[in-house]
Amino acid sequence: MSRASALLLVLLVLGVGLGLMLKDNGGKKAAPAFSFSPSSNVAPAPAVQTAPVPEPSSALPPAKAPLPPVTAQTDLAEAASAMQNLASKGNVTQTTTGAVEGGKSVKVLEEQIEYLQGQVDILRKENSTLLDRLATLTAPAKGTGAMPPQSPQSQNPAACEPPKPESEKEAPDFVGVGIEIVRTRELKDVPIPTISVDRAVVQKHIAKWLETQFPADHGKLQGRALVALGAIPEPVDTVALKAQFLSHQIGAWYVPEEQSLYLASEGELPVGMERKENALGLSYGYLFKRFGSKLFPSGSKPLTLDARLAHDCVLAGDASLTRFLHALKHPASGGGGGVGEDPDDPSRSVPIPNFLRQLELAAFLGGFDFMQALHSIGEWEQVNATYNRLPKTGAEVLDPQLYLNETPFALQPIDFADLKVNDAAPFWQDTMGPMATVIFLRAHAPEPIAADTAPGWANDRLFTYAAGDKPRGHAVWQTLWRDSNAADAFFSAMREAQLSRYKGSKPATNAPSGVFMLETGERTVIMQRTNKGYGVLFVDAADAGFAKAAVERFVK
């Protein structure tokens, strides 16, 4: 018999005793019966099923055993009804002495009921803790239905005890925190089994998933293209670095095939740093489980950098918002996860160029602002609706009103009949988008000047070409803007950025009006207004011949 059932049995016995006592007192009238409303005194039981709490010496129930619901509310109501029937049975006249004694007994019984209600609440919390522990212990091993190797803590019966105070600096109860996050986000989900592993394991799972999102050579080709543009200094595999950096920024990954969430163990923390739950990783994992297939369907055509970043902003922003709201409810321990800007932050060990690092962080920072704006309009219902109509571009993320307009945002077309320059085809084509454009500009231009270009962005296309045996190829970047003023702002920002990047080089004085030219000795930079003043063509080439040929090919 469970503790809750035993307590309710005691309550029923007390009721029977009271009825017999009142009858034996010789009274001819029953004491006034009291009214008991379980719904007004006992909090509704959670919707999830809970298991009875075993005695300390008992073993955990089998993982597949049914978990009976807590029905304290109904049992208390039935017990109260039984007591009322016993107290009122006979309907006889009661003496003054019997009424006083009966009233005292009822008072004692009311105190017992209040005590038992408190015990039921405690049992409900203990059952919830036990369910969380069971979810951890029943995490399926990879490729089998067996339980994974258990840590010493999970093998110890003490693991079923309630979490100890944070002052004891134990590892966080990630499953318990996960339930808090599910409630904060108002998701209808069950606890995800969590497995604490080395960070390299999390990185491996992220990299494996990214393989389903990009062609095999995507990362290396994109790295070469960004070098040609001047966004990063040396060629890198952008996809591999993405996996490595996200293992720090998210610090977790949900694996659908295993229905498990892998969390990177933090190891020893620096002196003075408080250990907190990785609320960001947990939030990301639960949201990825729920919405990942909508955002990133496997086997679909690779998105442009701009569109991919917009989709990243939805999930990363949702996770960041969930972490923020969770921290408001749990200020002492909430808000964990994510990388820091401290030079000693562990993520600094990842050899990722700053441009790529800022791109990944933009998904969380810009995405937070976007999802917070939607949440303020329609709460979680509006946030959930975003997954059914995803933003097409970063412009909608930066301006939620643009996303919410009845007329969907449409990219201005950029079409070229022939992309070959000097009979060479580009090895890379992409759309940078307004967010990546701002990040690119602010590497060499003041932040306000770079940021001011974003609202006027209408579309862009980046083409990069090999430059023979030279390590850095040619870049041709056509941008379109909302109006001529926005095009002016971008032209001015790019001019300042190039002069800062190629210090010591002076612009050509014989360049035509509306054309910026810069000879650095190794590179030739030409920037010219196009598309009736609404466009800007930027060419950064390894030789002057290619730069001039590109201008002739693409200027409209």
* pLDDT value for 144: 42
**Cα(403)–Cα(385) distance, integer angstroms:** 12
In terms of domains, do 396 and 492 share one? no
Q: Closest Cα to residue 236, out of 362, 355, 358?
A: 355
Task: Show the tokens assigned to 365.
Answer: 């920072």
Between the alpha carbon of residue 108 and those of residues 18, 103, 105, 114, the distances in Å are: 10, 9, 5, 10
Is residue 299, in this structure, part of any structural domain at all?
yes
Q: Please report which helix (H) or strand (E) contains residue 536, including its range.
A: strand 535-541
Q: Closest Cα to residue 293, out of 337, 250, 254, 320?
A: 254
**Cα(226)–Cα(339) distance, integer angstroms:** 24
Domain count, the chain: 2
In terms of domains, do 345 and 487 share one? no
DSSP for 422-463, written as a single string:
TTB--SEEE--HHHHHHHHHHTTS-HHHHHTTGGGEEEEEEE
Residue 117 exposure: Cα atoms within 13 Å on the Cβ side: 21
Q: What is the pLDDT along the chain (556 residues), one digit of tens a residue?
A: 444 555 555 555 555 555 545 444 444 433 333 333 333 333 333 343 333 433 433 333 343 334 344 444 444 445 445 445 544 444 434 444 454 455 556 666 666 677 667 666 665 665 665 555 555 544 444 444 443 444 444 444 444 444 444 434 444 555 678 888 999 999 988 889 999 999 999 999 999 999 999 999 999 999 999 999 999 999 999 999 999 999 999 999 999 999 999 999 876 655 555 667 899 999 999 999 999 999 998 878 889 999 999 999 999 999 999 999 999 988 877 788 999 888 888 999 999 999 999 999 999 999 999 999 999 999 999 999 999 999 999 999 999 999 999 898 999 999 999 999 999 999 999 999 999 999 999 999 999 999 999 999 999 999 999 999 999 999 999 999 999 999 999 999 999 999 999 998 989 888 888 899 999 989 999 999 999 999 999 999 999 999 999 999 999 7
Is residue 272, in this structure, part of any structural domain at all?
yes
475 SS3 class:
strand
In terms of domains, do 399 and 432 share one? no
In terms of domains, do 202 and 302 share one? yes
Q: What is the pTM of this model?
A: 0.70
In terms of domains, do 286 and 224 share one? yes
* pLDDT value for 269: 57
Is residue 514, in this structure, part of any structural domain at all?
yes
Is residue 327, in this structure, part of any structural domain at all?
yes
In terms of domains, do 390 and 433 share one? no
Is residue 415, in this structure, part of any structural domain at all?
no
- For 484-516, b/e burial (b = at least 16 CB within 10 A) is eebbebbbebbbbbbbebbeeeebeeeeeeebb
Decide which of 372, 404, 436 is a domain's last residue: 404
Cα angle 110, 114, 120; round to 5: 140
Is residue 392, in this structure, part of any structural domain at all?
yes
Is residue 30, in this structure, part of any structural domain at all?
no
DSSP 505: -
What is the extent of the structural domain holding 248? Answer: 174-404
Decide which of 404, 420, 440 is a domain's last residue: 404
Is residue 253, in this structure, part of any structural domain at all?
yes
Task: Show the tokens assigned to 459.
Answer: 């579309």
In terms of domains, do 190 and 336 share one? yes
In terms of domains, do 465 and 367 share one? no
In terms of domains, do 274 and 395 share one? yes
In terms of domains, do 448 and 514 share one? yes
* pLDDT value for 66: 40
**Cα(376)–Cα(356) distance, integer angstroms:** 30
* pLDDT value for 130: 55
* pLDDT value for 11: 55
In terms of domains, do 358 and 459 share one? no
In terms of domains, do 399 and 496 share one? no
Decide which of 404, 436, 457 is a domain's last residue: 404
End-to-end Cα separation, the chain, in angstroms: 84
Residues 6 or more apart whose Cβ sits within 8 Å of residue 152: none
